[in-house]
Amino acid sequence: MNFATQEPKIRRMTTEDLGRVMEIAAELEHAPHWPLAAYAAALDPDATPRRVCLVVEQAAEKSPSSSNEPGQAFAGAKAHIDSRAVSARLKSCPDTKHLEDADLGSFSAADKAHLGYEAFSARLKSCPDTGLPKQSAALSSSEAQAAPRLQLVVGFAVASWIGSQAELESITVAAAYQRRGLARRLFTALLADFRAAGVTEVLLEVRPSNLPALRLYLALGFVETGRRPGYYADPVEDAVLLTLHLG
């Protein structure tokens, strides 16, 4: 069978995908480095705002881990997380209950509050009731090599919407699988959900230094509508505000 000719498959993200999703994000400078609990909360079907989380699978060309160190290949099959339970427990935990409901429901809460990945992750791990592992479940290097990987998650997208307005929070594709049109495929799939939900406007924020992302969004029809000074931290940078009106 020639895996190189197989069409990529786009489907809903599940909790079993979270280890691989975090692995992809960790490899990329401009990807959002959110904690595991934030990803899990985004999958909660009862959360507000509503979210759509997608992944794209492609025939694997090599091991999903770029590292040869044991424990670096995340085991998605081991990441059995109850997203509803995580959301509820975070709100009752002494170290996280001060965060507003909107923050707990927001995929980019840690970034927007300038908490940063490490600080927010430490707070989450200090809460004994989250039911989250102290570190992501992982396969040893020998297990990763032995495991069959005909299809591999190579990218993901997350968006939220309230009423007729949606926010594109992330489209991320693993470095080895970029420049193949996968990000465009993910966005096309998101658009189908947006239109079905009655969305007429899509918003997003991006660093001006992230030129590949800017080029993609402009090619997709987004237009710049403003700038938010000093929005990003580490390093400090403005946010470019982009808007797409759906006809």
Q: What per-residue confidence (pLDDT) applies to 82?
A: 53
Is residue 125 situated within a structural domain? yes
Q: Which domain holds residue 13?
A: 3-159
State the total domains in the chain.
1
What is the structure's pLDDT at 72? 33
CA atoms within 13 A on the CB side of 221: 10
Confidence (pLDDT) at 55: 97
Question: Is residue 15 a part of any domain in this protein?
Answer: yes
Predicted confidence at residue 150, as pLDDT, reads 74
104 domain residue, yes or no = yes
Q: What is the pLDDT of residue 118?
A: 44
Which portions of the chain are predicted below pLDDT 70?
Answer: 1-5, 61-149
> Is 176 contained in some domain?
no
Task: Confirm whether 60 is domain-assigned.
Answer: yes
Count Cβ atoms below 10 Å from residue 85 Cβ, excluding itself: 15
Residue 83 maps to a domain: yes
Residue 179 lies in a domain: no
| pTM for the structure as a whole | 0.69
Residue 243 lies in a domain: no
